[in-house]
């Protein structure tokens, strides 16, 4: 089970996540209470142990803007939240080169299950085999970072038709529910931010440890 601890704002939290067994740490470059700068992430990257993925979460910027930020911050992966645009993803991957991967975020709009299923059915068909796809919750007011879960059983039925994709479950995960999410959705990985925080931008080490432990055991 691949585990990503997202929305880190300081080196202490990111290093703790790695030491507790996370596979990746994430940094939000989009406007947010947890937004970080290239300079902040570069300083954190220099302190991270070898082998830990460093994922930058980006809104709809240009290929060159994202690539430049990736190079300066020392990222190993880019997570796109600006909507599905496979041509953009291909151009970005070509610009980044083989050492930096692209994760595409897709969204389940809460309260709009039928529309979400129809939209995701089409989007998942367009995603390349073997690619990493993060499924997050979305509301009318927030695209990601909602702290709310989407209908796991409904999502599992949809995702079961796309075993060729590496699906990462996000949205409202916490130490108390991550095992149930894994058993229900059967994802390739999980992603958490607010579910392991003391406050926006500051992790709770007890929650962090419990989340990673429960995800591994599930």
Residue 127 among the catalytic residues: no
Q: Which of 6, 13, 127, 191 is catalytic?
A: 6
Q: Which of 13, 127, 136, 191 is catalytic?
A: 136
- Long-range contacts: 39-48, Cβ < 8 Å, 24+? 40/9, 41/73, 41/74, 41/75, 42/72, 42/73, 42/74, 43/11, 44/8, 44/10, 44/11, 44/14, 45/73, 45/74, 45/75, 46/74, 47/11, 47/14, 47/15, 48/14, 48/15, 48/18
Quote the CA–CA distance of 162 and 72 in Å, as a whole number. 35
Catalytic residues: 6, 136
């Amino acid at each position: 089970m691949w585990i990503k601890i997202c929305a880190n704002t300081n080196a202490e939290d990111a290093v703790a996540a790695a030491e507790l067994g996370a596979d990746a740490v994430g940094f939000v470059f989009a406007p947010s209470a947890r937004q970080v700068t290239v300079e902040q992430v570069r300083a954190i990257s220099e302190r991270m142990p070898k082998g830990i993925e460093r994922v930058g979460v980006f809104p709809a910027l240009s290929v060159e803007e994202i690539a430049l930020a990736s190079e300066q911050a020392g990222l190993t992966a880019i997570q796109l939240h600006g909507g599905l645009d496979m041509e953009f993803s291909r151009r970005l991957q070509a610009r980044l080169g083989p050492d930096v991967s692209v994760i595409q975020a897709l969204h389940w709009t809460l309260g709009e299950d039928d529309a979400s299923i129809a939209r995701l059915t089409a989007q998942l068909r367009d995603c390349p085999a073997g690619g990493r796809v993060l499924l997050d919750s979305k509301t009318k007011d927030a695209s990601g970072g909602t702290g709310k879960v989407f209908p796991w059983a409904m999502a599992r039925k949809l995702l079961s038709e796309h075993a060729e994709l590496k699906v990462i479950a996000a949205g409202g995960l916490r130490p108390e529910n991550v095992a149930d999410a894994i058993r229900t959705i059967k994802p390739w990985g999980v992603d958490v931010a607010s579910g392991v925080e003391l406050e926006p931008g500051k992790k709770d080490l007890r929650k962090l440890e419990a989340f990673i432990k429960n995800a591994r055991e599930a």
